[in-house]
Structure 1
Amino acid sequence: MSDITSPPESDSEPLPQPEPLQPAPLQPEPGARNELMELALLDLRERRAALLSEIEALEQRRRQLDTDLDGSPSGRADGIARRLKGFQDYLVVALQDLASQAEQMDLVVQPLQVQPSPLDPAPEAPASMAAAVQPVPPPAAGQFSQDAELIRERLTRFQGQPDFYADPWKLRRSLEPAAAALLDDWFLNQGGRGAQPSTGSRNRNALITAGAVAILGDLYGDRFQTLVLAGEPERLGEWRRGLQDCLGLAREDFGPNSGIVLFERPDALIERADRLEERGELPFIVIDAAEQVVDIPVLQFPLWLAFAATASELALEQDLP
């Protein structure tokens, strides 16, 4: 047998195999695409309508609850509690202002006085020296401490003969010693801020106020305005006539642009006092004895005098029609 020889290996590369044919992706027709979009939009519209319906139902429920709360005792109590909370915040701010004003006051420390023991022998003094000793007034405190000498000199003069022809805004009547002592205490011990017992008569209270106005005029000139609070027109009329007589004033001196302004409501007075301070002027607030309560905002101002009525005076005011 003849040997079978294998064919010689060829140097050429094998032929590439053909790739299998892939089916082309199907493209949706334009009509089908529009139908899908319409279905999606319809679903969104239905969801939106459902949400709006739920929101409207919740709004109606909320309005119904508000109506029920306003009409129920618990709802009214909640409203009152909110108002009380607001008033409490207002009081806190007012008291903070009051404390700040008190801290800014120029207080003078009273000197410590040691009383001698009854067992100590009394020192003997010559009769001439004992006759020459005069009582020394206590040191003044507050914003009028530097003006104590002038104030006491004016109060001493006011207790003399009345000057019926004095210039306007000067005191034309005489002060009794008790009234002068009241003003001395108000100016020099209370620093021009405090309550004093009423004299039992609105005319006498007006006389004391006129004395204070005359002294303040000597100290501040035209840079202050007197604001009188009395809750009824009849009381304001008495104040106007009393101040007009004691200070030699005319009707033109009573008004918003004049030296004395009369008020029936405390809120209007406080608003006027705030405006005066904004203009750099000084309000002097006077509160009638019939006003049983001093509003807290009044306490923030540097000058205020409140007359505290006696029991008989309050009873008389209540009996009046």
Structure 2
Amino acid sequence: MTDHSSGLDKVPVIVLTFPLPDLVTQRLGTQYHVESLLTPAARQAYVTHSGDLVRAIVTNGSTRLDGAFMDTMPNLCIIHTFGVGYEGVDVDAARARGIEVAYSPGTNADSVADQAFALLLAVMRDIVPNDGLVRQGAWRPIRPVPPQLSGQKIGIVGMGHIGQRIAARAAGFSMPVFYYSRRPCDQAQWTYCPSVMDMAARVNILAVTLPGGPETCNVIDADVLRALGPQGYVVNVGRGSVISNTVLTEALEKGIIAGAGLDVVEREPNLPAALREQPNIVFSPHVGARSPQSLLTCLDQVMTNLHAALAGRPVHTPVP
């Protein structure tokens, strides 16, 4: 039996399953009691004794939340992913239990699109190795003539909020935009491709924005990278599971493609040494979605949905 003498039964308890910046947790804490339970063991230990206190979970897209775990929290009314991904949440199990599942589409699209272009410029223009050489006292480039980004043909895999922001930025670099998505967009200036393979053969750059999950696992396979070719670059700001580490490593080692920029990696944060040691790749630690603007915009959406669900009203952005 849970001891409610602390008064927590009068304050909705929010469980965080992954670390968020202080500006987010502090604002959540002004209205709710927040428990940061960042490991499966910590979550299980808490719900064993206090699961009936939990009214909401704020999670990321990849943390696994299944029906058995939901059953330990009989008063849980909403699971909200902080961002656009939700592949780790068993949505069907939640809905079967009357639990709302919400996400925050579009709230971080500008930040992620910025990151995609930062990675592209960094890998194509040798920003990281040239910086290292200059710091060591050299004044020579790692490559005499690196390619320019302007005018390159870009293929966007997934034309959702993020893909559309990438396309808008591509216009500023005079880049013809090709795209593959589940359905064509009503944008005459972009060229729709019927498959990823068809698109890869027509472009110099692949920008991947796909969410995770079984439907997108290893969509960018060895054949796609061969079609992209030895002058081609791939940047992934979607989910790491879309590109196999093994396939990508081989493509970089053998010169099947010219380079890659990754904000996400398969099975992150466990980065295999063979991939980590590739000189023609630039990494960032899954931070594309993070900027003060995107965090606060996402937080506004989360708070709006939490208020609605806890008051028994439909959320504004349920998962599809």
| Normalised TM-score (structure 1) | 0.26
The structure richer in strand per residue is 2
The structure richer in helix per residue is 1
Q: Which has the larger radius of gyration?
A: 1
